[in-house]
Amino acid sequence: MSELVLDATVAVEAALLEGGFDIYEGHSLNAPGLLWWEVNSVLHEQTHRGEISSGHARDAMARFHQQRIRVFGPTPEFLEATVRVSQRLGWAKVYDATYIAAVLAIGGSRLVTYDERLRRGASRLVPIIGPAEL
């Protein structure tokens, strides 16, 4: 069993599919609390834009809630760590840095994302893989 941190891209993608989270079986899943807000926001926005139906979004959210994911709460220490990551990478925002800070907090863990730019920009700090590499 390996420790994985999921970002919003992989959580949304897996939630859209029946059995989408099956590829993570046998791994221990982790994420900052931000993940829940991001998944909720993305599903709502894409429903609003007509990309997915409200039923599909509801099913996706239910699948997401069924997963056992360890949550990193917004403690002062964790929030400071996200800012340090952003500073090291020269980023103005802390969204992606929040996921990277979670990886740094769990020894030997890896970040799973679909975001090619994130992998390119942050692989020098933490191991980053795509879901197809599991």
Partner 1 sequence: MITVPEAARRLRKNPETIRRWIRSGKLRSTKFGTQHLIEEEELDDYAGEEPRMLPLPPGHDKLDDGRPMPNVVAWVWESRRGH
Closest CB to partner 1 among residues 1, 92 = 92
Among 2, 17, 71, 87, binds partner 1 (CB under 8 A): 17
Q: Which of residues 80-109 bind partner 1 (CB under 8 A)?
A: 90-93, 95
Closest CB to partner 1 among residues 81, 94 = 94
| Tokens at 100, concatenated | 């990277």
Please state, in angstroms and as integers, the Cα–Cα distance from residue 20 to each residue in 14, 15, 107, 131, following that order. Answer: 4, 6, 26, 11
Distance CA 74, CA 114 (A): 24
Phi, psi dihedrals of residue 15, rounded to the nearest 5°: -70, -25
Distance between alpha carbon 91 and the CA centroid of its chain, in Å?
18
What x-and-dash track marks residues 40-59 binding partner 1 by CB under 8 A? -xx--xx----x----x---
Q: Is 62 in the site for partner 1 (CB under 8 A)?
A: no
Q: Is 132 in the site for partner 1 (CB under 8 A)?
A: yes
Please state, in angstroms and as integers, the Cα–Cα distance from residue 112 to each residue in 9, 51, 55, 103, 127, following that order. Answer: 9, 24, 27, 10, 9
Q: Is 16 in the site for partner 1 (CB under 8 A)?
A: yes
4 DSSP β-pair partners: 29, 110
Q: Which of residues 110-129 bind partner 1 (CB under 8 A)?
A: 113-117, 119, 121
**Footprint of partner 1 on this chain (CB under 8 A)?**
7-10, 12-13, 16-18, 20, 23, 38, 41-42, 45-46, 51, 56, 90-93, 95, 113-117, 119, 121, 130-132, 134
